[in-house]
Structure 1
């Protein structure tokens, strides 16, 4: 049976997919059979046959060089670059929580570690209408703990503190923080790291610079984070 972790972020375009790809790649380099899963994915393009390709999944697959099929990585794929709840209103095929969970569980016996990623920030709705499904519902249904990805720059203290507070209030287990777009030696960013650790009580386990192709997380730390 595999171990898993959920990658959430302080918002859209924070770099969750990039960080997830580095994590999946690193786990593979450590000798584990590593996989990726995202319940719903928006803003995708069609291939030459007119089929929507889950772009984030393809990015992870290519960067990590894993054999996992794209079809296995994401059950709900939308073309419009909007929240999945709105994309499905426009395109049809709304997220069914049972299906999203079952697809995730169907791959658990195949891999050592599964890195799951959310759509947008933690409050992103997956479905809103006749049924209301939010990311937190998926996380709870799958009994997942999370890692928070955030930009290291200006405004991140507020973004991280509010996200961590919300997740705590909702009973979601947040284990650590990873910073993206890190600039070594930048006095503001170094202070942001210290302030975010103080305000949340969480450890910053990695700081990733633009263009990095590796993430500095030990095998032992991965083993302690994934459940």
Structure 2
């Protein structure tokens, strides 16, 4: 049986891929089977562009030890858009459109054949539109799996994280933990942010410091 976890964000550009890749490397080091997927990705350079190596998709493939090929890229991120915008806007620029049912069906098909853990990384913040009608929260609800909420430690991160937690609670989405990822140039240490969040939620709040290994508490959740 696979264990599926959705990696959601309290905002955009706060380190979802950093957390997902760290978790993948830790699980693989323990000898566990794990598959990391980022079905929807915006701001993705063409696959032949050297800048593609810095894309979220390429970073997840590297963490899994999978060579970057057209096939592996498609198997990880089938909905890729060039513009660094919310996916619905980025798709519209390219004259494309995705529907939530198709995205959910694709994810479920990958989960069904997985032998181990499946990590599905979202795109943008929890309430970012992923299609013309659906947000990341709607996608998460449709999948029905638990989530890890990634927060930064920047000024305002506490409010953003607690707002996202409240949105999940209101919609019956189970959160396994909040992961505070250290933000570059943050005014306070991530531990300070984590302590503040911890006072208001009934779930683990885990810190992932920059360039630090995946904490035991985080790996134990998958």
Give the TM-score taking structure 1 as reference length.
Answer: 0.84
Aligned match of 1:21: 21
**Structure 2 CA distance, aligned partners of 1:7 and 1:162?**
16
Q: Which moved more, 1:158-167 or 1:52-61?
A: 52-61
1:7 matched to 2:10: no
Deviates more, 1:186-195 or 1:88-97: 186-195
Instruction: State the SS of the aligned residue for 1:178.
Output: strand
Query: CA distance change for structure 1 residues 54 and 113 in 2, over 3 Å: closer, same or farther?
Result: farther
Consecutive unaligned residues of structure 1, counting only runs of 5 or more, are none
The superposition leaves residues 87-137 of structure 1 with CA deviations (integer Å, 9 ceiling, x where unpaired) of 111112212222212221222223301111111110010112xxx111122
Once residues 146 and 153 of structure 2 are traced to their aligned partners in structure 1, the CA distance between those partners, rounded to angstroms, is 22
Asked if the contact 2:41/2:80 (under 8 Å) is kept, the reply is: yes
Q: Deviations over 1:30-74 (max 9, x none)?
A: 11111112231100111339xx89931211111342469221112
Which of 96, 117, 125 aligns to 2:99? It is 96
The aligned length equals 214
- Which secondary structure state, in structure 2, belongs to the residue aligned with residue 122 of structure 1? coil
The separation in 2 between residues aligned to 1:66 and 1:5, in whole angstroms, is: 20
C-alpha spacing 1:127/1:43, structure 2 compared with 1 (3 Å):
same
SS in 2 for 1:48: coil
- CA drift of 1:153 comes to 3.7
1:110/1:165 CA distance change after superposition, 3 Å: closer
Deviations 1:177-224 (A, max 9, x none): 1111179xx97643322220111222113x222233x21125xx645x
Quote the Cα distance in structure 2 between the aligned partners of 1:12 and 1:55: 14
Pairing of 1:39-54 with structure 2 (within 5 A): 39-48=39-48
Aligned to 2:216: 217
Query: What is the SS of the residue equivalent to 1:149?
Result: strand
In structure 1, the residue matched to 2:157 is 156
Match of 1:105 among 77, 90, 108: 108
